[in-house]
Amino acid sequence: MGILDSFRLDGKVAWITGASYGLGLAYAEAFAEAGAKKIVFNDINQELVDKGMAAYKEKGIDAYGAVCDVTNEEAVAKFVADVKAQFGPIDILVNNAGIIKRIPMTEMTLGQWQQVIDVDLTGPFICTKAVLPDMIEKKSGKIINACSMMSELGRETVSAYAAAKGGLKMLTKNVCSEYGMYNIQCNAIGPGYIATPQTAPLREKQADGSMHPFDRFIRSKTPAQRWGKTEDLMGLAVFLASPASDFINGQVVYIDGGILAYIGQDPNQLDESKFKEEEENDSVKVGDK
Ligand code: NAP
Ligand code: GCO
């Protein structure tokens, strides 16, 4: 097998959770291009699944989509069984579905905390538990978790999200430890700040047309001085899903434009005019899905 063949996903069934749009859709598109036999995805409601199916069709991807809440163990078990009956056992799982609530901890209700933990940490536990038996039987499997810079760093208003993503980093290491002997690799993608609907509120222009303070802050903390694009993450997703990464396990691979390595510069020193073209091309607005 030539070196480039080791990045192929031919014959594989890949499940990306919460993949109607955003990073999940990008991962699915990359897997399809790398030869995956079938892309399957779920989302939280039929409207999103329909939207996702239309997006996949437009990209020429014959995907399977169904409504399934990753926090509902019965629904997940049914989704996995339905996929297996139609396409065969799942070879690649990307625990992508996630939510964030940006609320100061002193104002966050227990219910809001629990909702984030349920989706971002318990959901990956439920989905991973559902696919492991077939991977163990086949002695082969790839699990990729959606970690985050908040698996390493905190910031104001994201206590539940950071706790969940920190826990997801350790769940990644534990699945590696417990099931690596069955040739199952469990790793994580740790994106920096990527331009998706989830982060659109952090880039929204101010009433006077000026840059969002958080946008300026992130650019001052990123050596690349830009937000990531979903395309930036596609190659890493294929790598972690492919035989090329068979001896990598329990790792969080950060893809953040260098934020985690850089102390940052004074946000006020940034020349805003440099970002005009990129901002005009940022088609992901608040409320987009
Ligand atoms: P996104 O745009 O919010 O998409 C997340 C998807 O998951 C949405 O379709 C969402 O549906 C779905 N979802 C939410 N709760 C669900 C549930 N209970 N069951 C099934 N699906 C559910 O997020 P994204 O920006 O693409 O990010 C994808 C993943 O990467 C997330 O885990 C996120 O935490 C992580 N991440 C993102 C960034 C970034 O900068 N964008 C950086 C690091 C990590 P709804 O639309 O109904 O919520
Ligand atoms: C935030 C952002 C981040 C990103 C991502 C960074 O409010 O700080 O939403 O959490 O989504 O997780 O890696």
pLDDT confidence of residue 282: 73
* Mean pLDDT of successive 10-residue stretches along the chain, which has 289 residues: 94 97 96 98 97 97 98 98 98 98 98 98 98 98 98 98 98 98 98 92 91 95 95 98 98 98 94 80 72
Atom 48 of ligand 1, residue of closest alpha carbon: 99
3-state secondary structure the chain: CCHHHHHCCECCEEEEECCCCHHHHHHHHHHHHCCECEEEEEECCHHHHHHHHHHHHHCCCCCEEEECCCCCHHHHHHHHHHHHHHHCCCCEEEECCCCCCCCCHHHCCHHHHHHHHHHHHHHHHHHHHHHHHHHHHHCCEEEEEECCHHHCCCCCCCHHHHHHHHHHHHHHHHHHHHHHHHCEEEEEEEECCECCCCCHHHCCCCCCCCCCHHHHHHHHHCCCCCCECCHHHHHHHHHHHCHHHCCCCCCEEEECCCHHHCCCCCHHHCCHHHHHHHHHHCCCCCCCC
Q: What is the pLDDT of residue 262?
A: 97
Its pTM stands at 0.96
pLDDT value for 210:
87
5-192+228-257 domain in CATH 3.40.50.1370? no
Which one from 27, 161, 179, 254 is the annotated catalytic residue? 161
For atom 12 of ligand 2, the residue with the nearest CA is: 148
Domain boundaries, the chain: 5-192+228-257, 195-226+261-289
Q: Is 98 in the pocket of ligand 2 (CB under 6 A)?
A: no
- Looking at residue 288, what is its pLDDT? 74
* pLDDT score at 274: 85
For residue 120, give the ligand 1 atom closest to its CA. 32
Q: Distance, CA 147 to ligand 2 centroid (Å)? A: 10
Identify the pLDDT of residue 272: 83
Does residue 191 line the site of ligand 2, with CB under 6 A?
A: yes
